[in-house]
Amino acid sequence: MDLTSPEKPSKATRLVKNKKSSFLSRDGRFHLLQGDSLVLLKDFPTDSVDLIFADPPYFLSNGGITCHSGQMVSVDKGKWDVSLGYEAISSFTKSWLLECQRVLKPTGSIWVSGTSHIIHIVGSLMMELGYKILNDITWVKPNPPPNLSCRYFTHATETLLWASKNKKAKHVFNYKLMKSENNNKQMTSVWNLKAPTKEEKNFGKHPTQKPLALLDRIIKASSNPGDLVIDPFSGSATTGLSAWKNGCNYIGIEKERSYNQLAVKRFEELEKQFKSS
């Protein structure tokens, strides 16, 4: 992947000007970094980011099974998702939450997605670190895979925690827009949204890829055009696609080169669609 020179510096390019980029869009608003977020975030200025979306490892790759397209498949997603035990998971989670809290502006907020394997640890540590939890969103999946063991209820939801930097922070919330997108009724904390569409997987998929509709709602609800959005676990950059098409600046941090390559293909396709429309 070649670095494309931007037409003019954006918030994103100014913030990461001394870092080696994996990809930079021509307009400078979509920026991918390859590396460890715990390392790269330390170079970000304090109070510099408007919105963070984090979809950290769930640490559920334990040799189990699930159902996909009617077939039994392994739940193992890669070495990055293997559990190292409670203490190690807590230490890792606290480290990245601390850095995210530092870089957030007083008007900023953070969203964290997870299943029961990680989200309760995240919530507990948020409280310990002084974040203010604004909402816990229940994302309901209409067509969840069946539970093959028949020993549990079928897992049909994920939880998203939305939090501000601290109790004094004045976070952005576009209440009227969310109400208008919900038939002029207050939007609740239960969201019924489908999994990623086939079109969102045209170039391949990340094993925990989120639907664009989910990120569109989050970006629209808690940021404004021109804001800086970062994702410390960028994956296939669904956060970035949503941020870019909604007028924001984006910086995604991802360890795996293959996922950054997938993200570039997805962005280039989105860019073509916008140019032709």
Confidence category of residue 22, pLDDT binned at 50, 70, 90: confident
Q: Is residue 1 in a domain?
A: no
Residue 78 pLDDT: 57
Q: Is residue 5 in a domain?
A: no
Q: How many domains does the chain have?
A: 1
Higher pLDDT, 22 or 182: 182
Q: Is residue 46 in a domain?
A: yes
Mean pLDDT, residues 166-190: 97
Which CATH number do you get for residue 166? Answer: 3.40.50.150
Domain that includes residue 178, residue range:
11-276
Across the chain, which distance is largest between two alpha carbons, in Å? Answer: 57
Q: Is residue 230 in a domain?
A: yes
Between vectors from CA 150 to CA 146 and to CA 152, what angle results, nearest 5°?
A: 85
193-224 residue pLDDT tens: 998 888 888 877 767 789 999 999 999 999 99
Q: Is residue 158 in a domain?
A: yes
The DSSP secondary structure of 71-116, one letter per residue, reads: EEEE----GGG----HHHHHHHHHHHHHHHHHHEEEEEEEEEEE-T
pTM across the whole model: 0.87
127-153 residue pLDDT tens: 999 999 999 999 999 888 777 778 888
Q: What percent of the chain has pLDDT over 70?
A: 83
Q: Is residue 73 in a domain?
A: yes
Tell how far CA 40 is from the center of its chain: 17
Query: How are the residues of the chain apportioned to helix, strand and coil, as percentages rounded to the nearest 5?
Result: 35, 25, 45
72-117 residue pLDDT tens: 554 555 565 566 788 989 999 999 999 999 999 999 999 999 998 8
Helix/strand/coil for 139? strand
